[in-house]
Amino acid sequence: MKMQDLSGKIAVITGASSGIGEATARLLVDEGVHVVLVARRVERLQALAAELGDSATVEGLDVADSAAVAAMFARIKERFGGIDLLFNNAGIGISSTFEDSDPADWKTMIDANLYGVLNCTQAAIPLMRGREGAMISSVSSVGGRFGAATWSVYSATKFAVVGFHDALRKELGEEGIRVSVLEPGAVWSEFGENVSEAIHERRLQLDALQSADVAQALVFAFAQPANVLIQEILMRPVKQIIP
């Protein structure tokens, strides 16, 4: 099967300081891509960039800050001229029954999981025009297809990401810009580790995916021939039957 040669392409990865974002950065650099690492934890990005060498650029910011995002993409345009991949990976999940949930937590999730995607995607689109095989890909979740108790607001944000991508695909397809969404189930990452001991135990029981498994799916979709769109990748551990 003939795949795209990714050498020399430019990728922006949000949430790159750990987990899926970090794993994706490593895989893309191995394929010859220059990665722009985006996250709030600058020291983590700098440590990763030191490992990746000249193939990485660090941008510390909060993707929910629209002005900061716009300024970042302006810098990227000035330096690189455009981008070939936007990987909207930054996100957060806070578990609680909805009745007991804190509206401040609703805002935290909506800002990161939805506004972050909207801010980065809108700023990235003009930098993708005319670049063969350009792709926007975002991380939704199994929770963006099937609701789960104690994850109502998180699921709402991830359902929104799926709907947004389906509409955006129809807006950009004729221009040759691909729009794809990843929907992973249980993954070993800081997201899971930080929620609760119960989540940790569930990951063990399910033999959860590794971050590199999800990263590999992203690279597979991106490396398809430019006229091929892998629109959705729903992936989960074999043992994850519910949801």
Going from N- to C-terminal start, the domains of the chain cover 10-235
The region of weakest confidence among 25-29, 141-145, 185-189, 225-229 is: 185-189
Q: Which amino acid belongs to residue 228?
A: V
Give the Cα separation of 156 and 90 in Å (integer): 16
Per-residue pLDDT, 192? 47
Give the CA diameter of the chain: 52
CA 117, 120, 125, 127 dihedral sign is: negative
Provide, rounded to the nearest whole percent, the portion of the chain with pLDDT above 90: 88
Query: Any residues with CB less than 8 A from the CB of 150 and at least 6 apart, and which?
Result: 95, 96, 97
pLDDT band at 191 (very low <50, low <70, confident <90, very high): low
Triad 32, 50, 218: Cα angle to 5°: 40
Taking CA atoms, 60 is separated from 15, 29, 39, 75, in Å, by: 10, 19, 5, 13
pTM comes to: 0.95
Per-residue pLDDT, 243? 86
- Is the pLDDT confidence value at 199 over 80? no
Of the options 3.30.1440.10, 1.10.3720.10, 3.30.420.10, 3.40.50.720, the CATH number for the domain spanning 10-235? 3.40.50.720
Q: Output the six-digit token pair for 190.
A: 């800081």
pLDDT band at 196 (very low <50, low <70, confident <90, very high): low
Identify the three-state secondary structure at position 22. helix
Query: Any residues with CB less than 8 A from the CB of 232 and at least 6 apart, and which?
Result: 162, 180, 181, 182, 183
Active site residues: 154
Per-residue pLDDT, 1? 54
User: What are the beta bridge partners of residue 13?
Assistant: 37, 87
Q: Mean of the pLDDT values across residues 147-161?
A: 95
User: Alpha helices, DSSP H only, in 58-209?
Assistant: 66-80, 103-110, 116-128, 152-172, 190-195, 197-206
Q: Where are the beta strands (DSSP E) in 15-115?
A: 34-39, 56-60, 85-88
Give the Cα separation of 111 and 176 in Å (integer): 29
Identify the three-state secondary structure at position 47. helix
Give the Cα separation of 202 and 192 in Å (integer): 9
Instruction: Name the residue with higher pLDDT: 199 or 112.
Output: 112
Provide, rounded to the nearest whole percent, the portion of the chain with pLDDT above 70: 96
